[in-house]
């Protein structure tokens, strides 16, 4: 049986989460806004100062359901998770790799290649399925630029150069991101990337 990794996001500022039976209950004052079976959840993310009941925190820790708390504006406050099980030998090897620029470069290159490849694939899929609804020449131009970035990544032997390639590729991808949004354009559109708010 496949376990779905479900995350519950609580965005309403003045909500309080509590446990009722085997359910997470989202309360706003005395009103119940939602009820979610705890066994279906992998993580709960709260953007509220009111937090959760101790009973819910205990149940989440027992069932290894992560709890993350953020301010209503998105600033990280705290995180709670149950017992962690890990492979000490694997962790030691990961630290060894991170200390070796040559070995860590290999992992970084593979991740960046995957990221750029997925961005390019998303553009190509949009061109294939919705050619008449998008600026085809602009999307093809960016797709070609991302293909060139993939080739540069494969030839790169320097982490700094790799970071530069990734940054440039991300800038190119997000320059046409609004073209990839095809539905509800009046409600959901993209102008540029920014950090605050994310």
pLDDT category, 83, cuts 50, 70, 90? confident
Element of type H or E holding 63: none
Spatial contact of 43 and 8, defined as CB atoms under 8 Å apart: yes
The per-residue pLDDT for range 158-168, each reduced to its tens digit, is: 889 999 999 99
The vertex-138 CA angle with 135 and 142, nearest 5°, equals 135
- Using the predicted structure, report yes or no on whether residue 37 has a pLDDT greater than 90: yes
Spatial contact of 130 and 182, defined as CB atoms under 8 Å apart: yes
pLDDT of residue 87: 83
pTM: 0.59
- Using the predicted structure, report yes or no on whether residue 2 has a pLDDT greater than 70: no
* Chain position carrying tokens 């995957």: 114
Distance CA 187, CA 16 (A): 29
């Amino acid at each position: 049986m496949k376990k779905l990794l479900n995350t519950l996001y609580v965005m309403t500022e003045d909500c309080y989460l509590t446990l009722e039976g085997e359910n997470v209950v989202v309360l706003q004052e005395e009103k119940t806004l939602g009820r979610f079976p705890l066994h279906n959840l992998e993580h709960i993310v709260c953007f509220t100062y009111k937090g959760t009941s101790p009973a819910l925190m205990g149940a989440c820790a027992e069932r290894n359901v992560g709890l993350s708390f953020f301010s209503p504006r998105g600033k990280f406050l705290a995180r709670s998770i149950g017992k962690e099980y890990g492979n000490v030998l694997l962790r030691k090897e990961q630290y060894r790799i991170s200390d070796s620029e040559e070995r860590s470069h290999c992992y970084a290159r593979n991740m960046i290649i995957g990221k750029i490849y997925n961005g390019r694939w998303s553009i190509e899929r949009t061109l294939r399925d919705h050619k008449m609804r998008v600026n085809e020449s602009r999307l093809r131009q960016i797709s070609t630029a991302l293909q060139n970035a993939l080739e540069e990544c494969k030839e790169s032997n320097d982490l700094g150069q790799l970071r530069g390639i990734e940054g440039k590729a991300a800038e190119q991808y997000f320059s046409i991101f609004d073209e990839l949004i095809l539905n509800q354009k009046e409600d959901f559109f993209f102008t540029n990337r920014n950090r605050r708010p994310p």
